[in-house]
A = this chain, B = another copy of it.
Amino acid sequence: MADYHAPVRDILFTLDTISDVSSITELPAFADVDAEMIEPLVTEAARFYEEVIAPTNVIGDLEGAKFEDGTVTMPKAFEGAWAKLRDAGWSSVAGSAAFGGGGFPKVVGQAMSEMMASSNMAFSLCNMLTDSAIALLERHGTDELRDIYLENLITGEWTGTMVLTEPEAGSDVGALKTKAEPVGDGTYLLSGSKIFITWGDHDLADNVIHLVLARAPGGPPGTRGISLFLVPKFLVDDDGKPAERNGVETVSIEHKLGIHASPTCVLSFNEATGYLIGEEHRGMNYMFTMMNHSRLGVGLEGLGIAERAYQGAAAYAKERIQGRTPDAAESDTIIGHADVRRMLLTMKAYTEAMRGLLYDATAAEDRMHAETDEAKRAAAEARLALLTPIAKAWATDRGVDVASLGVQVHGGMGFIEETGAAQHYRDIRITPIYEGTNGIQAIDLVMRKLPLDNGAVIEGYLDEIDATAKELSGKSTELDDISVALSRATASARQATAILLMAEDPQLRLAGATSYLDGLGTVAGGYYLARQAAAAHDASPADEWLQAKITTARFYAANLLPDARGKFEAAVAGPDLLYAVADEYIG
């Protein structure tokens, strides 16, 4: 098991070249922070994640969450890690200063989240869900609820969950059935079964605060009749302490492929006392405001695991001696073999491309809130809307590929659990599934995001890529290679985009959705690496680290970007063949 070394320089380089973070911190909303504070912040946090959290990853997986007599017990190594994380405050650097956060842009918080996901993805989910609960409570909770719950959630005394899914309501949230009956004193009694509740129960904190979607009487069917409730595991007494057990029972936890140290619970609500968040029947609206952020958070897990799988594979390849390269007299470390190097550079290129995509999307999230000019805010909102499904799906799909390459680089040892490569491969497999499957992301992209502003948003993004290709052209033969490949790929993207935009039959878009997203993500990845190559070219030619950025972009352009064209061809193949085979002959 290789140690985790936080890629501090990569993160800072991406914050600079892709997010243009100093232009964000200059906005009035961030008057209290300064771009120069970011480097020491990331550097210091890196040490914490490397030293405190990363060592809990393998032992957490081996021990796993355990369920007995209605109670969930967490791995011993997690004792204290949770409190240390909240105490250190790294998880709240982007939180609002009014509630004890650091007041930094979200894209800086993203750097923390990336390191957290690399360090221990299973553990990171507790933090992620607690942060989501905090955000919902901050924005939509009554003063009374905020007084009682917010501080304990922020300090990590208590943790939060998001309770949406039911056995018959997964991708289709609107099908949920859990009921909330008003008692008459402003509270409700919730009854129903919920599944897939991440960190739904555990023994690391004194209380678990569930944010639950349920149906109050009088609402329409579907998503417009759903309300949001706060339901604590223990009711809180007048002193603000956990007291009587509420009517929420942990029925079981799931036996899963990965993230064994993240307890995935079946919860049964039996007339559990709940407190309304915001207004009745508007629960899904509140959830939607969280959605882009949560989806980027899952994309970030793809990046985080990819980064760690890449580091593990590279460390192994530098150490493992096996076979000879052509003309060599002696056996070599396997990093010397062309095919192993191809795998490592593929892992590197995808990981850095994902980082660019995610850090661009989150910068848009910051600008959407903080830009002073309304047109800029609207443009940032549209950009975030476009990039979110691509970032979530492409980063997680490529993350799975990178983790699989990590297993492959290890050869036979990759299949043995002790190297850790297999754990990454298992853990990351949930990311294309939860927070909206990647199929749902693709549908969102072609049905809701392509038509934004009559296609002007996607076209503007492709224009931007072409402009970068043009900018690279003529600067050097190295950058020319990238430029040509990027222009070609963008041309394919434009063709497919035009066909999907013109399609009158929604089934044409739906049939091509995943292939289109895949192709567009591949082009976007090339774009972010190209921008980093351009920045590296303009900086010191003596800096080998920067030169490696140019080589990585060239490698991607020559070896991975060509995959886009095939995807765009498939994207416009249409739905007819899908339905030409009767169900009977499938399976």
Residues of A whose CB lies within 8 Å of any CB of B are 165, 168, 170-172, 175, 195-196, 254-258, 310-311, 313-315, 317-318, 321-324, 326, 331, 335, 337-345, 348, 400, 404, 407-408, 411-412, 414-418, 422, 425-426, 429-430, 432-434, 437-439, 442-443, 506-507, 510-511, 513-515, 544-545, 548, 551-552, 554-555, 558-560, 562-567, 569-570, 573, 575, 577-587
Contacts and interface: CB of A to CB of B under 8 A. Distances in A.
Contacts of A165: 412
Contacts of A439: 337, 339-340, 343, 408
Contact of A587 (B314, B417, B552, B558): B314
Contacts of A415: 254, 256-258, 429-430, 433
Given A317-B586, A407-B429, 14 more contacts: A171-B323, A256-B415, A256-B417, A257-B422, A311-B587, A318-B583, A338-B510, A339-B443, A408-B438, A544-B584, A555-B577, A560-B570, A563-B566, A565-B565
A2 to B, nearest CB: 8
B412 A342 contact: no
Contact of A548 (B317, B432, B585): B585
A529 to B, nearest CB: 13
A348 B408 contact: no
A338 B429 contact: no
A340 B583 CA distance: 12
Nearest to A565: B566
A564 B565 CA distance: 10
A345 B507 contact: no
A171 to B, nearest CB: 6
Contacts of A587: 310-311, 313-315, 317-318, 344
Contacts of A578: 338, 341-342, 345, 555
A563 B114 CA distance: 31
A257 B318 contact: no
Nearest to A413: B170
24 contacts: A170-B411, A172-B331, A175-B322, A256-B417, A257-B422, A258-B415, A317-B587, A326-B510, A337-B510, A339-B439, A339-B510, A340-B439, A400-B404, A407-B433, A408-B432, A414-B433, A544-B582, A551-B577, A562-B565, A563-B566, A563-B567, A564-B566, A565-B565, A566-B566
Contacts of A425: 257, 429
Given A322-B172, A514-B339, A562-B565, A411 B433 contact: yes
A400 B426 CA distance: 13
Nearest to A255: B417
